[in-house]
Chains A and B, each alone.
Chain A
């Protein structure tokens, strides 16, 4: 018969709670060791099974509130100030060149200009160093409205192929419609690599060329773990539609720092990517002449191209946001601390004052003495 006596279990459970009750705070009831019977063994008493582990019961007292707000304020304001000053110390030169680097005669046929192979794309810009820039000065290119996080774009790559030569032909289907040239796979395949940024910059101060250090601009982990040293570019940009940069097919992918940097997708449509480093200090008011090869077609999608030279701080680049945010939070906390102190002084409520209990407060409560 499947009619099990449900009851026994239920009552046992309930008994357990009723029997062995001992409470730490009132201490009125000793745990009662359950009598041992042969038929049904009650579980031995333990504070764990009885859910009576020693516990700390923090309550929110006014002092705690004021103290914690003050504490947060004390922590946050200095960090905010530090972040702001760090951001202020960062010297940053931003130069948008996408419009300026179009010769006026082509201003109506920008796409034709940028897509044709024959046109001269060299463009010279002059930048003034506003403040002393301590080395290393990082060179970034910044693109706007470029959705590297776009769903199809982002996944249009073959990680296996990039990693090792043996897998050259694997996961090609990730790369979309253009996977091969003839029967040979494209290495690296996919939209990400295909659209690689290919503007180049060369800098000179007072006609003396500044050396752009392109060593180690990519993550060491990527070079070792994700891009194989035996994988060489193959059939790249050899198909019908030419995208961005071309790769030197004699250099293995793990050495192609620009590619590796580009292949780390940016999470937002405006992003910077590291181009290189200048390992000398730049003095204030120095004029830097930049020769730009304006190859990259950002005109097709209406994005901007910027060249950025920047120093760094412990908090990253030039960004006031964190500093301001910290100061705001700190300020608010300080304000709350004061407000609460005032409330506590003038409209005091004693913690644990049982006169506030609803049935004590109103005579017509739930309980009439």
Chain B
């Protein structure tokens, strides 16, 4: 997991210790290196993207973020969350899979000098000058779309983005021409006007709400430096260049560069929950040079040269010229609008981006990605229907021309009845899922890390684990007279606890001491002391950190008496069994996914300097000095294997004493690297590589990643439902497999095919003869995946993977996840679903047809990017098996039904045109034509589309196989479509021709036969629906029979207006026996073929759903032999939040 997390980004700052240390002459070596790197990197970038650098600023910034996405996985997880905008770009460009070494690109973009044209110049404390040349936007935000004047044109313009509206507008306009008017002028305009009006009112209301919230937001107050005094000023009046003071718990009014904070080292903690949903605190730093300045007293002046506003909330680059020095500013020096200042009593900063140019506002443009896809689908269906109608009209007009050689007129009057015909197919999606791609951490597991056991100096301390439940000796310390204890309790091993208490006397105890010191020190945890709600006398030590692994380790160290109590940027204080010790932090090499380790250089109280390193076993074993303690290394390796086969996450801890020259050497290069303007990250990595070597192994820690409740059952259900579950995880193979077993993803019956690094091996754990028939599981790791995806083996891999019921991908980077989803989408037409909880899953969630976000511990980016969100993985089962299934069945049927419902009416009109000299007249009352879709047939359609359920929820959960109907496309497919169309034509022929023949050469008049047709069609359409309703409750009865009665009433009302041609027609014709005979005959004759086919089909080839329905009704389903264990899903989910 840790591999996918970006840890705290320490500021490239000038540590205080500089003053204490003797200055070194500039080493010509490193200087040359820098100079060598620089031109190569920059030119490399330029030659790669000559077009981009010449194109507009925005584009080049976007491309920069893409590049960092694809090349640096540790940043990629962040980059993904930037917002929908960057994903559009990501989709439109070929997604690069795999994490190749693309460092040079990253650094070239992140450290590139800002050219003057691209830069924004901000004069500190001089808003007038800052805004003189460039008119930067003020800080007032305006999220409202419309103003009073622009409302009508703009709203109309936006509404007419829908093809359907344009279509109806064209029809309405055509109807205004007397030659073409079919419906009355008002009749043709009214429905469209109504829809437009309702939408406009809704938009206006929403916009008004937005304006209100804008007003509240703009009128908030902030302390701004005016005439050397901090005065309260409204947010909207804040200008770029002004110096602003923020108090604790205040929300930031704009994006500002930190100048100084209440903390003497210039640290400020901010909560970014409004921005990216992550609730943990993030550290931001003020520059050393500005730290001591007091804006009220001395006039600060300086110039910040920063990049143009962009939406990358994790990127910022600027230079600050102050007091004749040039400082480089990075993302850790800026605090963004929308964040809250926490645990820092005040912070002073200078506004650099205001109002709509702030990163929060730039990211606020909504998420158009999937909705537009839905709408475009709908639009395309409307276009198809229009083509169909134009074809019909053309047939009529050509016939008219041929037969009568008279005027041709293109009347589009059939068309109105396709209104509302297309509910769109996306609703079908989650009923047809064939592939589920799941993240592991936080999705299958709780992402609640628990320290389980440790191996220290080759001794495994996990035996006593079982009987230590009651020994949760809570370690506590006293801070400022208050008792403080860790927020989380950790099970401790008594033997280890004993050892840890015994000081550093024995060799064994010394190693234990160092081990826990490493756990407590080698992290980026920020300790916070919070009130204990249950016990006011106590305080709780809350470890805030971005990685749950680190939190677990820090809590574990605290439990063993090594409690981290204070962290500033220069030192940490660790309470070791009641003794507070202060350690100087000389440097911290952050975690990155290439090194897979982090290190901290500590100056211990005994004035030794040590480097503590912790990291993934693979990377650590390569930097450990193998010549020392061979036995320890061997046994630790054994323990690591044992831990990971239990499904535990392991980390190896190592350390080394630094000699003075070594330290000085390191210190100098660290200084150089962290103040470097160009290629800083690469230099820092190099420095880290130099110091993290020849380590002594201390031991290994094992952390349990708990499975979520109901996951095994849920996976079993999904598998039974024929859904292929692919787990994509960053964990190593052993961990992934063990989690696979514990989550029932893998079973002993399965044949496992394991592909890793470059060797391909397969072994059978089941009977090899049955290999072809039994289920196959594929386990593949990220490295081989990258290799395969790039080669021709891709197709082969997919072929193999598609026959496997389970695929486990370990060691995959976030973008590889998206790449795998893209591969499956490319190769099959099956529906895919991605489920994940973290920022690293966002790309995968957006790539899949259905994205599900789990609102877990890893923030909300996944939820924001998803189509559905839920609390736990197991809720995926009801989502797919129950709601997905119902939705699929309903929507599949409704698409067919709606097509039928509208087509039958159009056909009846069409047949009449053939009998009216091909001139387009309707026998059916024009008002009835309009009301057909609005009153006569709409309600039953809506109600059935929402409420009908084929099989009960319990049985769907009990028999996941029923989900297969969606995968096999049983409810909506081409065959069914054409059968329905055939049925439609037959029914329309019956409706039309029965009255024609019955009243051939008789005295019947147009309105009377029109009324007969109207009533026949409406009754037919409603009965057709009634025949297919599965679950009749009173609502269905009310709407079906109600619609028919309403139609009769409407027709009667329409025939009561003397001004309409149909005056009294219905009453006349209802008095004739032939009318009723016709009506009955039409309905039976029209529905007969359908009924016969349905009966025969159900008798000879009953499908699963039908049998399940029958069994459910007859009550025999309970006794089926096949028993799938009932999911505990029906239990009330534990209250979340």
Enumerate chain A interface residues (CB-CB to B < 8 A).
Answer: 1-3, 6-7, 10-11, 14-15, 17-19, 21, 23, 25-26, 28-29, 32, 35, 51, 53-60, 62, 65, 72, 76, 79, 83, 140, 142, 144, 147-152, 154, 159-160, 163, 219, 221-222, 225-226, 264-274, 314-317, 319, 321-322, 325-326, 329, 332-333, 336, 340, 343, 347, 349, 351-354, 356-360, 364-369
Residue of B nearest to A37 (CB): B1135
Complex CA distance for A1 and B340, rounded to whole angstroms:
13
**Which residues of the partner chain A approach B1120 to less than 8 Å between Cβ atoms?**
354, 360
Partner of B1081, one of A53, A314, A326: A326
- In chain B, positions 974-1028 with a C-beta closer than 8 Å to chain A are 994, 996-1006, 1009-1010
Q: 17 additional contacts, CB 8 Å, given A268-B996, A317-B1002? A: A11-B855, A25-B952, A28-B954, A32-B1132, A150-B916, A150-B917, A159-B1059, A265-B1006, A267-B915, A267-B1004, A269-B915, A322-B998, A329-B1085, A352-B1107, A352-B1111, A360-B1122, A367-B961
The answer to whether B1133 and A15 have CB atoms under 8 Å apart is yes
- What are 16 A-B pairs with beta-carbon distances under 8 A? A3-B338, A11-B870, A17-B883, A18-B878, A18-B1133, A25-B1112, A51-B947, A55-B1033, A149-B921, A154-B1006, A219-B1064, A222-B1063, A225-B1063, A322-B1081, A343-B1099, A347-B1099
Complex CA distance for A276 and B1035, rounded to whole angstroms:
51
Q: What's the minimum C-beta distance from A173 to chain B, rounded to whole angstroms?
A: 8
The answer to whether A25 and B869 have CB atoms under 8 Å apart is no
Complex CA distance for A197 and B1030, rounded to whole angstroms:
56
Complex CA distance for A241 and B232, rounded to whole angstroms:
91
Tell me if B274 is interfacial: C-beta within 8 Å of chain A: yes
The answer to whether B1058 and A14 have CB atoms under 8 Å apart is no
The answer to whether A57 and B1034 have CB atoms under 8 Å apart is no
Residues A316 and B364 in contact in the complex (CB < 8 Å), given A57-B1032, A149-B921, A367-B720: no
Residue of B nearest to A358 (CB): B1104
**Which residues of the partner chain B approach A32 to less than 8 Å between Cβ atoms?**
1132
Complex CA distance for A340 and B1073, rounded to whole angstroms:
33
**Which residues of the partner chain B approach A314 to less than 8 Å between Cβ atoms?**
1073
The answer to whether B1073 and A57 have CB atoms under 8 Å apart is no
Residues A349 and B1078 in contact in the complex (CB < 8 Å), given A59-B1109, A367-B720: no
The answer to whether B855 and A2 have CB atoms under 8 Å apart is no
- In chain B, positions 865-889 with a C-beta closer than 8 Å to chain A are 868-871, 875, 878-879, 883
Complex CA distance for A228 and B274, rounded to whole angstroms:
74
**Which residues of the partner chain B approach A159 to less than 8 Å between Cβ atoms?**
1059, 1061
| Interface window among B681-689, B727-735, B1087-1095 | B1087-1095
Complex CA distance for A265 and B875, rounded to whole angstroms:
64
**Which residues of the partner chain A approach B878 to less than 8 Å between Cβ atoms?**
17-18
Q: What secondary structure prevails in chain B residues at the interface with A?
A: helix
Residue of B nearest to A143 (CB): B1001
Residues A151 and B919 in contact in the complex (CB < 8 Å), given A7-B855, A15-B1133: yes
Q: What's the minimum C-beta distance from A3 to chain B, rounded to whole angstroms?
A: 6
Tell me if B714 is interfacial: C-beta within 8 Å of chain A: no
* Contact indicator per residue, chain B 1059-1079, by CB within 8 Å of chain A (1) or not (0): 101011001100011100110
Q: What's the minimum C-beta distance from B366 to chain A, rounded to whole angstroms?
A: 9
Enumerate chain B interface residues (CB-CB to A < 8 A).
Answer: 143, 210, 213, 217, 274, 338, 360, 364, 720-722, 773, 775, 855, 860, 863-864, 868-871, 875, 878-879, 883, 912, 915-917, 919-921, 923, 947, 949, 952-955, 959-961, 964, 994, 996-1006, 1009-1010, 1030-1036, 1058-1059, 1061, 1063-1064, 1067-1068, 1072-1074, 1077-1078, 1080-1081, 1084-1085, 1088, 1092, 1094-1095, 1098-1100, 1102-1104, 1107-1118, 1120, 1122, 1124, 1129-1130, 1132-1133, 1135-1136
The answer to whether B1032 and A55 have CB atoms under 8 Å apart is yes
Residue of A nearest to B958 (CB): A26
The answer to whether A29 and B1130 have CB atoms under 8 Å apart is yes
Complex CA distance for A351 and B952, rounded to whole angstroms:
18
Complex CA distance for A17 and B953, rounded to whole angstroms:
10
Nearest first, the 4 A-B pairs at minimum CB distance are: A221-B1064, A151-B919, A352-B1110, A352-B1111
A23, A352, A360 pick with most chain B CB within 10 angstroms: A352
The answer to whether A163 and B1114 have CB atoms under 8 Å apart is no
A17, A56, A83 pick with most chain B CB within 10 angstroms: A56
Partner of B1088, one of A3, A268, A332: A332
Partner of B217, one of A1, A269, A336: A1
**Which residues of the partner chain A approach B773 to less than 8 Å between Cβ atoms?**
364
**Which residues of the partner chain A approach B998 to less than 8 Å between Cβ atoms?**
316, 319, 321-322
**Which residues of the partner chain A approach B1003 to less than 8 Å between Cβ atoms?**
140, 266, 271-274
The answer to whether B720 and A366 have CB atoms under 8 Å apart is yes
Q: What's the minimum C-beta distance from A12 to chain B, rounded to whole angstroms?
A: 11
**Which residues of the partner chain A approach B1068 to less than 8 Å between Cβ atoms?**
219, 221
Q: What's the minimum C-beta distance from B186 to chain A, rounded to whole angstroms?
A: 16
Residues A7 and B919 in contact in the complex (CB < 8 Å), given A59-B1109, A329-B1081, A359-B961: no
Complex CA distance for A58 and B998, rounded to whole angstroms:
35
Q: What's the minimum C-beta distance from A364 to chain B, rounded to whole angstroms?
A: 7
The answer to whether A21 and B1130 have CB atoms under 8 Å apart is yes
Partner of A152, one of B919, B1098, B1111: B919
The answer to whether A319 and B1002 have CB atoms under 8 Å apart is yes
The answer to whether A7 and B1084 have CB atoms under 8 Å apart is no
Q: What's the minimum C-beta distance from A250 to chain B, rounded to whole angstroms?
A: 25
**Which residues of the partner chain A approach B1118 to less than 8 Å between Cβ atoms?**
26
Residue of B nearest to A221 (CB): B1064
Complex CA distance for A360 and B1108, rounded to whole angstroms:
12
Q: What's the minimum C-beta distance from B62 to chain A, rounded to whole angstroms?
A: 21
B916, B1002, B1111 pick with most chain A CB within 10 angstroms: B1002
